[in-house]
Structure 1
Amino acid sequence: MARRKLSHEGTLVLDSEGLSKLLGDDEQVVAMVAEARRRGMEAVICALTIIEAVHTGTNKARLAWVLSGLRVIAVGDEEAKAASALLMAAGLHGHKYAIDAAVAATAMAQQRPVVMLTSDVDDMTKLCGGRVRLVAV
């Protein structure tokens, strides 16, 4: 499978599908994460992504190993306020989009350029606008 090109330096953010696919050893996602690291990009996730991606069938040892290679960004007051502002600006409600908004706020706070691996390009476009390059996985 051909690798997708990622920008030099900056940050690679994985949403829940990106993390799920990395946990499942998806060839495309593993290759994109490896390429990002090769180019000096930091791979990160929002802490809430773990909640969304993990299920009863998740291999706990694999999860711990994958997480050890990512920077997990905590969601505190400032991050919650930033996510809330994104929701309001996009005209979305937190009940349905809360975790997506936290992931988007996390992405926008990282070193540029920022690339996000996501299964939800439509919603992330509403939240991030053109400030984050979205790559469908």
Structure 2
Amino acid sequence: MARRKLSHEGTLVLDCEGLSRLVSDHEPVVALVAEARRRGMEVVISALTIIEAAHRRTDKPRLAWVLSGTRIVPVGDEDAKRASEMLIAAGLHGHKYAIDAAVAEMALRQRRPVVMLTSDLDDMTKLCGEKVRLVAV
């Protein structure tokens, strides 16, 4: 993976794949997160991302350690309503995109600039537009 430049300050958002790769010690993602923290960026995830990323084979102690250094953003009623509106505006619907919409909505509320580590560039581009810099993982 080529070295990617991250902003000073701002926010680094991890979607499901970003969190999963961090938990599994995927070197490029670990390096990006470390660089973001060094630059003063806050690392955040949606509370729903924990549900999406965890499975039977998840290293639970490693997940707990990663989460201890990450701000977990809850999803409230108004957040869910905005995420639903974003789905409609993007021409998406259903459970396949629900968590992506909640993650995108949360990302748009974070301190700028916002960078998101994601494996879903197409859908996140539809949901976030140009307001969030997407980095493929």
**TM-score > 0.5, shorter chain as reference:** yes
Measure, in 1, the Cα distance between the counterparts of 2:7 and 2:117. Answer: 13
Please, which moves more after superposition, 79-88 or 127-136?
A: 79-88
Q: Does 1:4 align with 2:8?
A: no
- Equivalent position of 2:85 in the other structure: 85
Measure, in 2, the Cα distance between the counterparts of 1:57 and 1:91. Answer: 34
What's the secondary structure of 1:63's corresponding residue? helix
Measure, in 2, the Cα distance between the counterparts of 1:101 and 1:31. Answer: 26
Q: Does 1:52 align with 2:52?
A: yes
State the Cα distance separating 1:93 from its structure 2 match. 0.4
Instruction: Write out the 4+ residue segments of structure 1 that deviate beyond 6 Å after TM superposition.
Output: none
Measure, in 2, the Cα distance between the counterparts of 1:78 and 1:7. Answer: 29
What is the Cα-based RMSD across aligned positions, in Å?
A: 1.0
What's the secondary structure of 1:48's corresponding residue? helix
Count how many residue pairs are aligned between Structure 1 and Structure 2.
Answer: 137
State the Cα distance separating 1:4 from its structure 2 match. 1.5
Q: Does 1:130 align with 2:125?
A: no
State the Cα distance separating 1:7 from its structure 2 match. 1.0
What's the secondary structure of 1:40's corresponding residue? coil
Indicate if the aligned counterparts of 1:3 and 1:31 stay in contact, CA closer than 8 A.
no
Measured against aligned partners, the alpha-carbon deviations of 1:1-56 in whole angstroms (never above 9, x if no partner) come to 65321111100000000000000000000000000001100000000001111110
Gaps of 5+ in 2: none
- Equivalent position of 1:64 in the other structure: 64
- Equivalent position of 2:110 in the other structure: 110
Gaps of 5+ in 1: none
Query: Structure 1 length normalisation: TM-score?
Result: 0.97
Q: How many percent of aligned residue pairs carry the same amino acid?
A: 77
- Equivalent position of 2:96 in the other structure: 96
- Equivalent position of 2:76 in the other structure: 76
State the Cα distance separating 1:60 from its structure 2 match. 1.0
Query: Structure 2 length normalisation: TM-score?
Result: 0.97
What's the secondary structure of 1:34's corresponding residue? helix
- Equivalent position of 1:33 in the other structure: 33
Indicate if the aligned counterparts of 1:84 and 1:94 stay in contact, CA closer than 8 A.
no
